[in-house]
Amino acid sequence: MEDIVLFGAGGHTKVLIDIIEKMGRHQIIGIYDDRSELFGTNYFGYPVIGPIRSNYAVKRGIIGIGDNDSRAAVSRAILQQSPEFKFIRAIHPSASIGRDVTIEAGTVVMAGAVINPGTTIGSHCIVNTMASVDHDCRVDEFASVGPGSHLGGNVHVKARSFVGIGATVIHQITIGSDSVIGAGATVLHDISNNVIAIGSPAKPMRTREANEKFL
């Protein structure tokens, strides 16, 4: 089993730990987190060994942070600290992955997710519990597809955007970068960059500020 480290000690990390344990391919040796009060403690059974910018004990791992912008910032910090660091994928054994699917490094695919043929999932994405991504979709880096949400065929979700819990995006839709689709929304038309869109059909509610939290 290959030694790895995790980054972030939050709720998303608990899910990630569960996936990695079920995969049975990696041994978690510790977690890096910037909250000094956690140093030297155990989080979900694993030691918190120091801040995110550290002299990493091993050079392979994955980021356990649910917020897209924060995950992007931590990825940059890790590679600035250690340019040779390599990120792994974490795919729950119960996920269904179709033919000709590409899943880039750092991405997490959770329990019950379905990714259909011809789809590309970029680096450091999250395909959450029971989400479905249909054929020939493209989900760009640091984007996330929320629990129980559904992307029709040929959907393009651009970088750092978030499709909320239970949302539905019909086929051939593009969701711009840094946008948020609200929980339960139905997306029938393209969504531009940097907006929050809600409702059924989904309509832009307002502009989304840079690095604004979406959860």
Q: How many helices (H) and strands (E) does the chain have?
A: 2, 25
pTM tops 0.75: yes
pLDDT tens digit at each of 215 positions of the chain? 999 999 999 999 999 999 999 999 999 999 999 999 999 999 999 999 999 999 998 999 999 999 999 999 999 999 999 999 999 999 999 999 999 999 999 999 999 999 999 999 999 999 999 999 999 999 999 999 999 999 999 999 999 999 999 999 999 999 999 999 999 999 999 999 999 999 999 999 999 987 788 76
The CATH code that applies to domain 90-200 is: 2.160.10.10
> Is 212 within 8 Å of 197 (Cβ atoms)?
no
Residue 215 vs residues 12, 77, 144, 163: alpha-carbon distances, Å:
12, 22, 12, 11
Tell me which residue of 28, 21, 16 sits closest to 60, measured CA to CA: 28
Backbone angles phi, psi at 78, to 5 degrees: -60, -45
Q: Give, in words, the CATH class of 2-87.
A: alpha beta
Q: Where are the beta strands (DSSP E) in 150-194?
A: 150-151, 156-157, 162-163, 168-169, 174-175, 180-181, 186-187
Contacts made by residues 130-137, CB under 8 angstroms, sequence distance 24+: 134/171, 135/98
Domain boundaries, the chain: 2-87, 90-200
User: Quick one: pLDDT at residue 215?
Assistant: 66
Sheet holding 60-63, edge to edge: 42-43, 46-50, 26-32, 2-7, 60-63, 86-87
Tell me, what's the pLDDT at 97? 98
Alpha-carbon torsion (214, 144, 36, 22), positive or negative: positive
As beta bridge partners, residue 3 has: 27
Q: How far is CA 54 from the centre of its chain?
A: 23
DSSP line for 84-142: T-EEPPEE-TT-EE-TT-EE-TT-EE-TT-EE-TT-EE-TT-EE-TT-EE-TT-EE-TT
DSSP line for 194-210: SEEEETTTTEEEEEPPT
Tokens of residue 49, six digits: 């060994």
Distance CA 179, CA 163 (A): 8
User: Phi, psi at residue 140, to the nearest 5°?
Assistant: -80, 175
